Structure 1
Amino acid sequence: MLTDKQLHGAVNIVEEKKGREAILLDLKGISMVTDYFLIVTGNSTTQIKAITDNLSEKLPELGVTILRVEGLQEAKWVLVDCGDLVIHVMTPDQREFYNLERLWGDAKVVTFN
C-alpha cells in the first residue's frame, strides 16, 4: 500500500524533469492489476528518458520498488511498473492517441493539498 507521501513524491519526480500534464488516477476497485496510474507527457524521447532515469534513481529513495521498465528503447511510451503504481511517460502523440484518462474514466483523480 502506497502512502500519500510516496504518491506525491512520484508526481514531484516527474515534474522535476518538466513532465507536463501529470495526472494521478486512483484505480482501486476498478483495476485488478494496480491501484494507481500516473500519466505524464514528455515533449521528446530525450525528455522521456530523462524523466524515466529520474524515476529510476529517486523512487527507491521513497521506498517505491520498480519491478520493470518497458519501452525505454523507443521512448515514445515508457511504462514504469511499481506494482501498486504504474507510471506512463508518453509523447504528446501517444498520449492523445491512447487517451488513458478516457479509457479509465471511472477512476478518481488524486489531488494533493
Structure 2
Amino acid sequence: MKEAICAAASEKKARDIVTMDMRELTPTTDYFVVCSANTATQVRAIADNIEEKLAESGAHFLHKEGYREGEWILMDYGDVVAHIFRQEAREYYALEHLWADAALTPYED
C-alpha cells in the first residue's frame, strides 16, 4: 500500500516523497508516507489521486483531514498514513525530525 500511495503522489508531481518505518515507534500504524507540493491546489490534487488510485484496488481511507485548507492533508489507511504537505507546512511541522528514530526511505519512481 505504501508503494501505491507513493506512486499516486508521484503521478501528481509530489516532491520529496519518503516513507517512514513507524513499526517500532507507534502501535497505530506501520508507515508514514510524507510528500510535499507547492500550492494548496496541488496538495488536494495529490490527495485526490491517492484516494482514487487506492479505491481502484479496493482500499479506502479510515479518516481524512485537512482537505479544505490544503496545507496538510492526512489520509489514514490503517497500516499506512499519508501526509501531504504544502512545502512551508512540511518545513514547519518537520515530521522527519519529530520522528527522527524512524528509518526514512526516499521514493524513486
TM-score above 0.5: yes
Q: Deviation digits for residues 70-107 of structure 1, max 9, x if unmatched? A: 00010100001101111000011110011000111111
In structure 1, stretches of 5+ residues that fail to align are 1-5
- Corresponding residue for residue 96 of structure 2: 101
CA RMSD of aligned residues (A): 1.6
- Aligned-partner Cα distance in 2 for 1:20–1:111: 10
Shift of the 111–74 alpha-carbon distance from structure 1 to 2, 3 Å rule, reads closer
List, as ranges, runs of 4+ consecutive aligned residues in structure 1 with deviation greater than 2 Å. Answer: 60-65, 110-113
Structure number with the higher strand fraction is 2
Aligned counterpart for 1:34 among listed residues 16, 29, 32 = 29
For residues 112 and 44 of structure 1, do their structure 2 counterparts lie closer, same or farther at Cα, with a shift above 3 Å needed? closer
Distance 1:53 1:40 in 2: 14
> C-alpha displacement at 1:67, in angstroms?
0.8
C-alpha displacement at 1:42, in angstroms? 1.1
Give the aligned length: 108
CA distance in 2 between counterparts of 1:59 and 1:25 reads 19
- Out of 4, 12, 25, the residue aligned to residue 7 of structure 2 is 12
Cross-structure match for 1:62 = 57
Distance 1:112 1:52 in 2: 17
**Secondary structure in 2 aligned to 1:12?**
helix
CA contact (8 A) 1:24 1:111 kept: yes
Q: Decide whether the 8 Å contact of 1:9 with 1:62 is kept in 2.
A: no
Rounded to whole Å, the distance in 1 between the matches of 2:38 and 2:107 is: 25
Indicate the SS of the match to 2:67: coil
Alignment gaps of 5+ in structure 2:
none
The residue correspondences of 1:38-57 to structure 2 (distance < 5 A) are: 38-57=33-52
**Alpha-carbon distance, 1:65 to partner:** 2.6
Amino acid at match of 1:14: A
Amino acid at match of 1:76: E
